Structure 1
Amino acid sequence: MLDDRAFETGIRRIGAEQEMFLVNEAWRPLGAALDILEELEGPFTTELALYNLEANLEPRELEGRCFRDMEVRLNELVDHAREAANRRGAEIALTGILPTLSKSDVTLENITPRTRYHALNEAFAKARGGEPYKLRIQGSDELYTEHESVMLESCNTSFQVHLQVEPDEFATLYNIAQLVTAPVMAAAVNSPILFGKLLWDETRIALFQQSIDTRRGSVHVRDLSPRVRFGEEWVSNGLIDLLQEDVTRFRVLLTREVTEDPIALLDSGQMSTLQALTLHNGTVYRWNRPCWGVKDGVAHVRIECRVLPSGPTIVDEVANAAFWIGFVLGGVEEYGDIRSRIDFADAKSNFLAAARNGLKAGFRWLDGRSRSAPHLIIEEALPIAQAGLADAGVDPGDIERYLGIIRDRVKSETTGARWIVRSLRGMQGQGSKSERLAAITAGTVRRQMEGSPCHTWDDADIDESGGWKLTYERVEQLMTTTLFTVHEEELVDMVAFMMSRNRIRHVLVEDDAHKLVGIVSYRSVLRLMAEGFEGSVDTAPPVHEIMERDPLTVAPETPTLKAIDLMRENRVSCLPVVSDDRLVGIVTETDFMPLAYDLLEERLGS
C-alpha cells in the first residue's frame, strides 16, 4: 500500500477521543456505564471499567474554525453524557486520574462485561506467567503495591488527539511529534494523585506503563521492551519502521477472525483495513502511536497523541490539542530533520521529566541547549505552534484563543496538577483525607461545568466535599495506612517504645511475608508491667507471648457502619484492615473522633 501510494494525500484532518469518569453523589467511581449507554445516542462507547465512558469525535479538516467547532462538539457530547448520567444518579468527571479512586475499585467486579476486555485481562495474565502486576511510583509520596488484574489501567482517562499525515512526510512529522511531546505535556499535566498519594504531575505515564507491563521478573539482565513505550530511536524509513519493530518485538496478545484477504483486495483495486495488523497495533501502546484507517474506500495514515490527560476543562483540552498540532506542524518547518541535533535518549528523558515535574521540568533541547519548561514554551514553542497553525489555515482568532490559554496557564504556573496540589495543601488539617479528595473531585466537576480554563480557577474548598456523611461510607476512607509493625520474635520493649514515641495504642504483628499474625494493645503492655516487668532488655519477653493471635479484621471495602458494629459486638477498640491476606491499614476508635465532632456540631447546632 505504501509502495503503490494507496494512502490519501493533500488533506489534513484532526480528530479526538474523549475519555471520562462516572462518579456518584460521594464523588467516588460509579460502575453505571452500561445503563447510561442505553440512554445515549451517537459516538459513545465502553471502556475497560464500568466507571469509564468514551466519546469519539468526528474527524474534521484542519482549517478555519476547526478548533472552535471541536470545542462546541465536545461540549455537546459531554453535556449529552452528563444528562444521561444525572438521570442515573451519576455525574461526569474529566480528569486524568480520579482523586477518589481506591484500590478496591479496580477489581474485576468493575470490568466491563465484554469479551474483548476479559480476553485482554487473560492475555496479559498469561504473558506475565501469573505474576502480579507490581506498581511502584515515587513522588512526594511513594506508592508500592501489587495487583492481580489489568484493571489498574482503568485508573487512566485521556484526551487522545489524532493528526492525519501523508506517508512521505511521516518520518519527519513523527520525529517532531516525539520531540515536542515533552513541553506540550509539561503544560498539560493533570494527574498528580493515585490512591490518595501525591506522585508525578502526570502520574498516568508511570501508571499506564506499569499497569499493563507483560515483562516478568528475572534474575538475568535482559532488555525487554514494555508494551507502553515512548520508543528507542528516531524513525528513519517512515511508518514501516514502527510497524516492523512492533510486529517483531511483541507477541500477539489477541486474535480474531479475519474476514478479508488483504492481498486479494488490493489486487482487485479495493482497500484493505488490515484487520490483523490493526488488532495487534491496538495492543502496543506507543505514546505517539501510528494509526491508519479506511473511510469510503480511501485509506489514510495518522499520528495519535496519547499523552494528554482528560480535563481539566474541555477548553483546556482543545488548547492542548491546538498546541500539540501547531507545534508538530510548525516544528517541521522550524527544525527540519532533528536526528543529528538531539539524541533520542535526551528526548525520552525530557518526556519523563515533564511527566514527573510538569512546568518545573528542565529539558536538554536541540543542539545541546538546556531550557526550563516555561521558557521553552513561552519563548520558542508557542511562536512555532502559532506559525504552524497559521500555515494550515486555522482562523487567527482561534489561534489566539487556544494558544493564549496555554500562554496564560504557563505564566500563572497553574496546570490542572498544580491546582489539585495547591488545593490539597490549602485544606491541610481540614476534614479527613477522603473529604479532601472528594472536595477536589467535586470542585473539579463544578468548575468544569462553568467552562473557564483551569488557570483562572479558585482553590477547592473542604465544604465542596458534601460533608462527612459521604466520605465515611467505607473503612478505606478513614483507615490509617501509615503503620507501625513488629515481628513476633521482637522484644516487648520495642513495642512499648513505638507506642510512646508515636502516641499509638496498638502495634500490629507481621510475619516475614507481611501477613498479619497478631496485635499488641496498650492494655497488654500495662498488664505485663503490672506483673513486674520493668522494661529491661534482659527480662523482656518476645512479642508472641503477649500478642493477641488471629485478631478480628475487615476488608478495605467494608461499610463503616458494619465495622462499628463489629467493634461494639466484639468489644475491641481497633480493626486491622487486610486485603488479599496482606495488612493494608488499621481503623481505631480515634479515627471516628472527627466524625463524632462533626455529628455533635450538626446535632447541637440544629
Structure 2
Amino acid sequence: MGDERVHLPESKEESQQFLKYLLRDVRAMEKMLNEGWFEIDNVRIGAEQEVCLIDQYAKPSPIAMELMEKLGDNGFTTELARFNLEANLTPQLFEGKCLSNLETEILEKLDQIRDVMRDFDGDVALAGVLPTIRKSDLDIKNLTPLQRYRALCDAINKLRGEEYDLRIQGADELLMRFDTPLLEASNTGFQVHLQVSPNEFVEKYNLAQAIAGPVLASAVNSPLLFGKRLWSETRIALFHQSVDTRTVGDHLRDSSPRVTFGNDWIKESILEIYREDIARYRVILSSNVDEDVEKLLEEGKVPQLRALQIHNGTVYRWNRPCYGISEGKPHLRIENRVFPSGPTVSDEIANAAFWLGLLNGMGQHYPNIHEKLDFDDVRMNFFAASKLGMDTKFRWINDKRVSAVELITEELLPIAREGLENAGVDKGDISSYLDIIEDRADSGQTGSFWMVKSYNELSKKVSREQALTALTNAMVKNQKKGEPVHRWGLAKVDDMENWQPHTLLVEEFMTTDLFTVQKDDILELVANLIDWRRIRYVPVEDDSKHLVGLITMRKVFRDYNNVIHGKSKESTSVDDIMIKNPITIHPEASILQAIEIMDEQQIGCLPVVKNNRLVGVITEQNYMTITKRLLRVLDKKKSLNS
C-alpha cells in the first residue's frame, strides 16, 4: 500500500464511489485476462528487504525520515514505523546468476544505509522481530509521518476500537494491552516475488500455499518479543493480531482476519482471490481515482488498476497476488510474505532459492496439488511451522506424517534443485544457496534456535535487558561477517560492549513476575510469601489490578515485634499495616529517574503503574544487577586503556 494519496473515506458516498472503481478494476482485469494482455515471455524474480534501524545501544532508532533525506530516492522507502526502512530491489530475469546478483544488490543497499547510519551513531539489524524492541517504542509518536500510514491506523482503530489485547503463548506467555496498530511495526520481513503467466497462476499459487509451512520451518527467525520466548516465528501471530479488525460476537459466526493464509484452494484464476477479498473485507481506505479504465482498454492502453491495488494492500495474505506493469506490459506475481528478515543476507537468498526452486519444480512431481493435500492440513502446517520451526511434524502427501528435517532434506531440496536447474539458474548459485538450507536443516540451528539458545544462556548470567542487548549486538556482528546462521557461535556477555544504564527505561529492568495480595488478606499470607519467595516487598492490589498499597518486610517484622512485646494487638489484615498511596513510577520513565526518587524518598521499592494498573516493581535488587554489569564495563575499559 505505497500510494501516498490514500485516506479514510469521508462519507458514505465516497466509499460507494471507491467501491465502484474497485469493481470496475476487477472487470477490467477479467477482460485483460480473456484477451491475453499479460506478459508470458519473461519470468522475473524480485524482493523487498526490510531492516531495523538501531542506535549505538542496540535499541530502535526512529530516524527513518532523516535517513531518507540523506539516502535520496535510490530504491529506499519508509515503513509504518520510524525505526524501519525498506529497500526495493531490481527485478531479475529468473535465470543465470539472478540469486547471487540479488544478494550483491542487497549487500550494497545495506552498506548505503550503514554509511548514513554512522552519522547517527547507529547501525542496521536484520531480524523478524528486533529482540530489544520495547513497548514504549510502539507509541504512536513513532508512526512514520506520512498520510497513508496515518490513514491505515485510523481505519483499523475505527473498525476495531483503539484498545485491544495481544496474547501469544509459547515457552512463555505474553498478555498485554495496546492502544495503537503500530505493534505491527515490530515485524520486518524479506518479501520474495515470482512473476507467473496467467495460465500458470492457479497451479503456482496453490503450490506456494502447499509449501508455505515447510519453507517457513527452515527460515524461522523471530522467537522473542519483550523478552518473552514465544513462537519460532512470532511475526505470524503478531501480525495476525495487530491488524485484526474483527470483534467478538455472541454466536459462532465465521469471520476471516485481514491477515490471512486463505480459506481454500483456488480453482480458475487470480480473480477468485480478488473477488473473495472484496466479498470478505470492507473497503477501509479510499483515494481520488482519476483513471478511466474502460476508456484506457478501448484505446489499447494498460491501466494502473489503482483501486484494486489499494484494496489489495489492505488485505494481508501470506502469499499475496500482485498486479504490476513492466516496460508497458502488465504481469502477475506471487509475493511470498512468509520469510522474516535475516539472519544474514546469505540465509535470506537461500530461503528465496528454496522457495523459487520448489515453485518451479513441484508441479512436475505433484500436478494438481489441491487433489493430493487437504487445504485445512496445509493451513495447519503453516501455523505449526510458525510455532515449532524445525521441530514441526507435517501432514503431507497421502496423509503421511513427516518431520520438517526429513521432508526438507529427503524430498523438497532435490525438487528445489531440479526446479532451479530447469529455470537455467547458475549451478554455482544453486549449490551455494541450497547447501545452506541443507546444512541448516542438518544442524537444526535456525535463527530462532540460535536466539533462544543464546538468550537462555545469557539469562543465567545477566538481566533480561542485558541479555537482549548482548543478543542483538552479537546478531549484528554475525550479519556483518556474512556467515549463515548455522555456523554462528552463541552470543556472549562480552557482546554488550556499548551497554550503558542511562539509556534504560524502567520497563526494561522492572520485575514483572509479581506476587501480590489484597487488602483483606491475612498477614500470615504476606509473611509466608516473603519467606517462600525470598522477597522484601508485596504490592497490594484490587480485583481490577489497581494498586492500592504496598507492604514491606520491615512493616511485617515491626507488627510482629509489637505483638510479641505487648505494644499492640495482632493486626488482622493487610489493610491494617499497608502503606497507602505508595510512591509509584511509570514504566517509560528512565532508570535514573527511578534511582533519584528512591534515593530522595529513602525507599527500597517503587511500584510501576500504567493507566492506574500495576505492571511491575523496581527494587534495590534491580539496581544491584545494573551496578554489577556497569562496574564490569568500567573495569574492562580501564584494562584496555592501561
Alpha carbons of 1:415 and 1:601: their partners in 2 closer, same or farther (altered >3 Å)? closer
Instruction: State how 1:430-469 maps to structure 2 within 5 Å.
Output: 430-466=461-497, 468-469=499-500
Residues 141-197 of structure 1: CA deviation (Å, up to 9, x unaligned): 000111011110000000000000011111111000000111111110000000110
Partner of 1:582: 613
Task: Note if contact 2:140-2:180 (Cα within 8 Å) is conserved in structure 1.
Answer: yes
Quote the offset at 1:533 in angstroms: 7.7
In the other structure, the counterpart of 2:103 is: 71
> Match of 2:117?
85
Q: Does 463-472 or 26-35 show the bigger shift?
A: 463-472
The 2-side partners of 1:455 and 1:169 are apart by: 35
Could you tell me which residue of structure 2 aligns to residue 298 of structure 1? 329
Letter in 1 for 2:627: A
Which residue does 1:127 correspond to in 2? 159
**Code of the aligned partner of 1:67:** L
Q: Determine which of 76, 79, 82 is the counterpart of 1:44.
A: 76
Cα distance in 1 for residues equivalent to 2:364 and 2:522? 71
Question: Sequence identity of aligned pairs in percent?
Answer: 46
Separation in 1, partners of 2:231, 2:124:
24
SS in structure 2 of the partner of residue 58 of structure 1? coil
User: Structure 2 counterpart of 1:200, which letter?
Assistant: W
Conserved 8 A contact 1:172-1:332: yes
Structure 1 segment 268-347 matched on structure 2, within 5 A: 268-347=299-378
Looking at structure 2, the residues matched to 602 and 80 of structure 1 have their Cα atoms a distance apart, in angstroms, of: 31
Q: Give CA-to-partner distance per residue, 1:298-324, whole Å, 9 cap, x none.
A: 111000000100000011101100100
Distance 1:344 1:539 in 2: 67
Aligned 1:128-527 pairs, distance under 5 A: 128=160, 130=161, 132-466=163-497, 468-470=499-501, 473-527=504-558
Residues 602/337 of structure 1: CA separation in 2 closer, same or farther (3 Å cut): closer
1:344 and 1:602 map into 2 onto residues whose CA distance is 54
Secondary structure in 2 matching 1:246: helix
Indicate if the aligned counterparts of 2:501 and 2:630 stay in contact, CA closer than 8 A.
no
Q: Which runs of 5+ in 1 are unaligned?
A: none
Residues 500, 630 of structure 2: 8 Å contact kept:
no
**The residue matched to 2:291 in structure 1 has which SS?**
coil
C-alpha deviation, 1:370, in angstroms: 1.0
Distance 1:411 1:104 in 2: 39
> In 2, are the aligned partners of 1:553 and 1:576 still within 8 Å (CA)?
yes
**SS where residue 135 of structure 1 aligns?**
strand
Q: Quick one: structure 1 residues 601 and 225, their matched pair in 2 at CA, closer, same or farther if it must change by over 3 Å?
A: closer
> Quick one: structure 1 residues 604 and 85, their matched pair in 2 at CA, closer, same or farther if it must change by over 3 Å?
closer
Change (3 A) 1:218 1:511: farther
316-325 or 288-297, which deviates more: 288-297
Deviation at residue 332 of structure 1 after TM alignment:
1.2
Mean CA deviation greater in 278-287 or 293-302: 293-302
Structure 2 unaligned blocks of 5 or more: 1-31
Counterpart pick for 2:89 among 57, 64, 69: 57
Residue 582 of structure 1, CA deviation: 2.3
Q: Distance in 2 between matches of 1:604 and 1:371?
A: 52
Q: How many residues align?
A: 602
Q: 1:489 to 1:416 in 2, by over 3 A?
A: same
1:36–1:88 CA contact under 8 A, matched in 2? no
Change (3 A) 1:116 1:394: same
Cα displacement (A) at 1:223: 1.1
Which moved further from structure 2: 7-16 or 148-157? 7-16
Give the match for residue 105 of structure 1: 137
What value does the CA root-mean-square deviation take over the aligned residues? 1.6
Give the deviation of 1:402 after TM superposition: 0.5
Matched to 1:47, the amino acid is E
- Structure 1 residue ranges, 4+ long, deviating more than 6 angstroms after superposition: 602-605
Whether the 8 Å CA contact 1:493–1:540 is kept in 2: the answer is no
Deviation at 1:488, TM superposition (A): 2.2
The corresponding residue for 1:29 is 60
CA distance in 2, matches of 1:218, 1:466: 51
**Aligned partner letter, 1:301:** L
2:591 is aligned, of 543, 547, 560, to: 560
Distance apart, 1:237 and its partner CA = 1.4
Q: 2:106 & 2:499 partners in 1: Cα distance?
A: 34
- Does structure 2 conserve the Cα–Cα contact (< 8 Å) formed by 1:271 and 1:297? yes
CA displacement at 1:580 relative to structure 2 = 2.7
Q: 50-59 or 210-219: which moved more?
A: 210-219
What letter is aligned with 2:48?
E
